[in-house]
Amino acid sequence: MGKTNKFENEGYTIYIQGKHIEVTDALRNYVWEKLSRIERIADQIIDVHVVLDAQKLEKTCSILMNFIRFQIKVQAGKDNMYEAIDKAVDRVIKLIRRYKTKLQSYRSKHLSTVDIHVNVIEPLKDDLSAINDEIEAENVKAESKKFEMHKVVAKETMPLKTLTQDEAIMKMEITSDPFMIFRSEEDQKLRVIYRREDENYGLVQIQ
């Protein structure tokens, strides 16, 4: 993973990684230039992770930006890598502005939190193209392994926050997470908010 200290004076670092593409000085400088736009509208940045991926039919730019109180994750794809970077940065800026606008409409309050544990389940691989980089790192596994039962591959700890429904929706809008568990401020019951295929949200109440 490429690492640059260009922004160390601002108190954070930008990491740039290339997948199937060499991160040239021209690309690196372009990423720096575009990310400098974000500095003008946001502060309290911890670090920024940028992944540039060049597949045959599409160039993609993924950005993970960690702030002190939240994080933003976006991905954009175009035929040209520079256009993909532009599109991803534009999405970050749009989400930051949306977050700041909505945050101003809510009163400041303390959010009580407890830790809950979430298991990450690895999906079945449906074809050999899904193991692109793995094929170089190890011998191709027997094809029958593709049909094994799901298994737990990682465990994460995430905060369980007390939120209103509107605040939960706002937090979902600035991340790409498929779901979030929270405690309802109205009745203190657990809720699960998740993304639907129609780009709306579903809400599940846990009794």
B/e letters for 133-158, b = 16+ CB within 10 Å, e = fewer, are eeeeeeeeeeeeeeeeeeeeeeeeee
Mean pLDDT of the chain: 76
Nearest residue to 32 via CA among 6, 54, 1: 6
Domain boundaries, the chain: 2-103, 113-122+151-206
Considering only 31-35, 70-74, 111-115, 194-198, which range has the smallest mean pLDDT? 111-115
Which CATH architecture describes the domain 2-103?
2-Layer Sandwich (3.30)
Nearest residue to 28 via CA among 55, 58, 74, 61: 61
Q: Looking at residues 45-64, what average pLDDT do you find?
A: 91
CA atoms of 14 and 81, how far apart (whole Å): 18
Query: 199 in the Ramachandran plot: left (φ > 0), alpha (ψ -120 to 50) or beta?
Result: left
Residue 143 structure tokens: 């094809």
- Cβ atoms of 125 and 156 within 8 Å: the answer is no
pLDDT of residue 51: 94
- Cβ atoms of 26 and 82 within 8 Å: the answer is no
Q: Looking at residues 74-98, what average pLDDT do you find?
A: 91
Of residues 107 and 167, more confidence is placed in 167
User: Is the pLDDT at 110 greater than 50, yes or no?
Assistant: no
In the sheet that 59-67 helps form, which strands lie side by side, from edge to edge?
2-4, 13-19, 45-54, 59-67, 71-78
119-156: pLDDT as tens digits = 555 554 444 344 444 444 444 454 455 556 667 767 77
152-191: pLDDT as tens digits = 767 777 778 888 888 888 888 877 778 888 888 888 888 8
Query: How much of the chain, in percent, has pLDDT values that exceed 70?
Result: 70
User: Is the pLDDT at 78 greater than 80, yes or no?
Assistant: yes
pLDDT of residue 37: 82
Which CATH architecture describes the domain 113-122+151-206?
2-Layer Sandwich (3.30)
- Interacting residues of 136 by C-beta distance below 8 A, sequence separation 6+: none
CA atoms of 102 and 108, how far apart (whole Å): 12
Supply the pTM of this predicted model: 0.51
Q: Looking at residues 27-40, what average pLDDT do you find?
A: 87
